[in-house]
Amino acid sequence: MDQSRDVIAVQARLADTDLIIGPADREILRRLAGNTADLAARPIEDEKRRHWTSHNSLKKTRPPILCDPENGWREIITPDQMECVNPLARQWEMHLRKEVFWGGRMNDDYTVQPFFDVPHVHAPLDWGLKEKRIGGEDGGAYRWESPIKSIEDVENLHIPEINVDSDATDRIENIASEIFEGLLTVRVKTLWWWSLGMTRLLAELRGLQQIMYDVYQDPRILHRIMTVLRDGTMAMLDELEEKGLLSLNCDGTYIGSGGLGWTSELPGVDYDDRVSCGDMWGFSESQETTGVSPDTFAEFVFPYQKPILERFGLNCYGCCEPMHQRWHVIEQIPNLRRVSASPWTDKGKMAQQLEDKYIFSLKPNPVDLAMGNFDEDRIRRELREVLSILRGCRLEIIMKDNHTIRKDPGRVIRWVQIAKEESENMVAG
């Protein structure tokens, strides 16, 4: 799930009046920033940073626990809790309230940092063609009409350009610096992508069902589209590097499909304060092609992802697709460090594949937090069973992809407690 795109898109549409944050809103933001700063200054935050750093270096540790409820945040921080009036201030308020909940109540291994990041204001990336979405209001389901109907339509795709509004970015940075002075250090830091996998964009441009037909009816069009997407992605990375727009993610940045980026192995030895892809974690996945065979994935997807991932210092791979079926392909990725294990993965097979040579990023089923009855005994039993299988792995436990937590924030808090207890028992045993 792209955790940066919505904020950037909203900021790109801000009017001048949206940049006028009044005294009342500023006071609210400073109060929350003070709470965040207090949490970030706790000794336990240093302990968590060291924990993630050891874990990401494949040292044997207690499995880190991270819970990001995603859509469930709307049921944790509800509209009636929000106090700010200004649209930009409300975005910042939501971010700070998440930090306070994470550090003050969730008590997983998320690290609260003494920073406040504002992204570059920029135009949406334009590939020349875009799908037409129908539905999707309030986070609901949607369908779409894909623009590529024939191989001739592919010629209408073009490499996207990075167009940053430097003046607007500077204005927002200055406003944030004024508000959070003495509390949080403001940084301009943009998460330009979530995944570099490209198959979501492929599905939007061509259509999921049509892709399945193309595999055997017209493979030329798939290869042609993926060639353009690969070349465009490579050009985008070149431009971001050349313009100095990249930021390090070897800190508390959420990386891949779960996990924090703390590591002593990045940035690279040639780092000179100008970030290149080689100083960063990379990430790719191909959830949309779960329905195709490993050989089909190896033919139509992986050859286009691999040259992109070769640019990065460390790599993560996978999200919701069952990775054990594709491992013989995925293991070819250079600098691969973190591999996702979705609820549909054969945990036993994947444990044998990864051993202690890669991070096993376990994703428990989010249904645990969505059912009418929060069954603690079942959650504990299932975690205990899978942890016994993964005892020899370098394991992390990531709760994500939540669409609802039944309006009960206590569920995420209790889930974290259970996961910590069971992971500690595994280490002690």
- Please give the structure tokens belonging to residue 408: 């009960």
pLDDT in tens, the chain (429 residues): 334 333 434 445 666 777 899 999 999 999 999 999 999 999 999 999 999 999 999 999 999 999 999 999 999 999 999 999 999 999 999 999 999 999 999 999 999 999 999 999 999 999 999 999 999 887 788 999 999 999 999 999 999 999 999 999 999 999 999 999 999 999 999 999 999 999 999 999 999 999 999 999 999 999 999 999 999 999 999 999 999 999 999 999 999 999 999 999 999 999 999 999 999 999 999 999 999 999 999 999 999 999 999 999 999 999 999 999 999 999 999 999 999 999 999 999 999 999 999 999 999 999 999 999 999 999 999 999 999 999 999 999 999 999 999 999 999 999 999 999 999 999 987
Question: What is each CA distance from 159 to 156, 228, 234, in whole angstroms?
Answer: 10, 8, 9
Which pLDDT value is given to residue 6?
39
Domain hosting residue 15, numbered range: 5-428
Q: How many domains does the chain have?
A: 1
- For residues 394 and 358, the answer to whether their CB atoms sit within 8 Å is yes
Q: Look at residue 12 in the predicted model and tell me its pLDDT.
A: 55
Helical axes 376-389 vs 347-354, angle rounded to 10°: 40
Q: Which ranges in 207-310 belong to alpha helices (H)? A: 208-217, 219-242, 294-300, 302-309
Residue with tokens 């874990």: 55
- Does residue 353 contact residue 322 with C-beta atoms inside 8 Å? no
3-class secondary structure, 159: coil
Strands (E), 356-408: 359-362, 394-399
Give CA 182 to chain center in angstroms.
Answer: 29
- The CA distance from 346 to 265, in Å, is 30
338 pairs with which residues across the strands? 316, 359
The answer to whether the CB of 250 falls within 8 A of the CB of 282 is no
**Nearest to residue 341, comparing CAs of 356, 359, 357?**
359
With CA atoms as reference, report the closest residue to 12 among 70, 91, 79, 85: 91
Would you state the pLDDT for residue 18?
A: 79
Domain holding 229: CATH number? Answer: 3.20.20.210
**What is the bridge-based pairing of β-strands 142-145 and 132-135?**
antiparallel
